[in-house]
Amino acid sequence: MIGGGPYIVEFKQSAESDLIELEKFIVEDCYAPLTAKRKFADLDKRLDWLEKYAELPAIDFNLSYQYGLLVRTIPFGKKMTILYTVEGEKVYILRIMPQSMIVF
């Protein structure tokens, strides 16, 4: 069997704040509500994937100093990244941010 799922996905406060800021930026600053709708639909697909296959992406040890041990990343959309960790049957979404903001 590929993947160990099913997992339960939970958002940390920082990830929830990231989502609010992302939506606000796309809708209010860029005046692109349809783009926001597409972006969040893509995010939903990635979260569905995480519910099944969260342990497949490799642990990114370069991010451990900044975000804690056992951090993994997956891209979504063209330029965004989801940072998360797996603990037992739970997937904790730590941050949702532009790939360009990830500094090693």
DSSP H helical ranges for the chain? 13-24, 33-53, 64-67
Output DSSP code: residue 59. B
Q: Which domains does the chain have, with CATH numbers?
A: 8-101 (3.30.2310.20)
pLDDT in tens, the chain (104 residues): 456 669 999 999 999 999 999 999 999 988 999 999 999 999 999 999 999 999 999 999 888 888 888 999 999 888 999 999 999 999 999 999 998 887 76
- How many helices (H) does the chain have, and how many strands (E)? 3, 4
Count CB neighbours of 12 within 10 A. 15
What does pTM read for this prediction?
A: 0.88
Token pair of 101 as six digits:
């903001």
